[in-house]
Amino acid sequence: MATFVVAHGAWSAGWAWAKMHSPMQARGHRLITPTLTGLGERAHLARPDIDLDAHIADIVAVLDVEDVSGINLIGPSYGGIVATGAADRARERVARLIYLDAFAPNDGDSLLSLLPEASRAQRQAATSGPMAGWGIPPGPMPPDTPAQDRAWCEPRRVPQPVKTFEQKLTLRRGPLTVPRHYIYCSRHPPDDRFRRFYERAQREGWGVSEIDASHNPHITCPALLADLLDHICR
As annotated, the active-site residues are 77
- CA-CA-CA-CA dihedral for 92, 97, 102, 106, to nearest 10: 60
Helix (H, G, I), strand (E, B) or coil at 167: coil
Rg of the Cα atoms in the chain: 16
Residue type, 110: S
CA torsion sign for 230, 198, 52, 42 is negative
Q: In Å, what is the CA distance from 226 to each residue of 89, 138, 185?
A: 27, 26, 14
